[in-house]
Amino acid sequence: MADTLTGAFDLTGRNAVVTGANTGLGQAIAVALAEAGAGIVAVGRSGMDKTEERVRALGRPFRAVRADLSTLEPVERVVAEAQELGRIDVLVNNAGIIRRADALDFTEADWDAVMDVNLKSVFFLSQAVARRMLADERGGRIINIASLLSFQGGIRIPSYTASKSGLAGLTRLLACEWAGRGINVNAIAPGYFVTNNTAALRADPERNGQILGRIPAGRWGDPGDIGGAAVFLASPAAAYVHGIVLPVDGGWLAR
């Protein structure tokens, strides 16, 4: 039984593309997938030396692709460069940005910037990868990184909330279209993690205290806490899992 379970989570011989893999949750997901056996294509705007170091230390293939997903210009190039490592078996849409301001003061520029990265590029990169997955009829896995704001409203982040709510819906839509064709589309909804996106919240004593007071686990999430969920959704163990948004939140939504 133990060997069977181990095999169910084995990603040996598979390749995963992870966007926003230079730091934080993206880096942690890339490393977790590599630990499970996958080769990694790390996509990001900045250098990914640390991610590469950790993946190669595990003996896994690695390729870095520099790309700014604020526009659709790099989408086809990302796919082409990723395929130089081999077939794309897993896509993790992790890249995302956030802008903070009261709804009354929120600008069109901040709205568009967030929606372009967090939702528009996710759809078109998923489309481009899915076309390759379907062409050879071997299927694959697409994992979107949603948010607690896929379930809740939040404050002072209107475009982020809209994008992550939209991403939950998009996850279900793509699952409905592609489940019968061998592609599993799911999402992970991280709670409050120690990342660049939450630096402002952690630096605010009042907000930090309010957030910690609601998390049953009693702490902010560490990026390493998300890896297991990504490995599960990318693995044979999740073969019959389609269209879910899996919270990894220390119990926040249960409160």
160 is catalytic: yes
Structural Rg of the chain based on CA atoms: 18
Catalytic residue among 62, 160, 178, 193: 160
- CA distances 7 to 3, 55, 89, 235, Å, are 6, 20, 17, 9
CB atoms within 10 A of CB 195: 19
HSE of 5, CA atoms in CB hemisphere, 13 A: 2
Among 36, 40, 35, CA closest to 22: 40
Distances (CA, A) of 38 to 31, 75, 165, 169: 9, 22, 29, 28
What does the DSSP assignment read for 203-226?
Answer: H-HHHHHHHHHH-TT-SPBPGGGG
Q: Which residues pair with 74 in a beta bridge?
A: none
What residues are annotated to the active site? 160
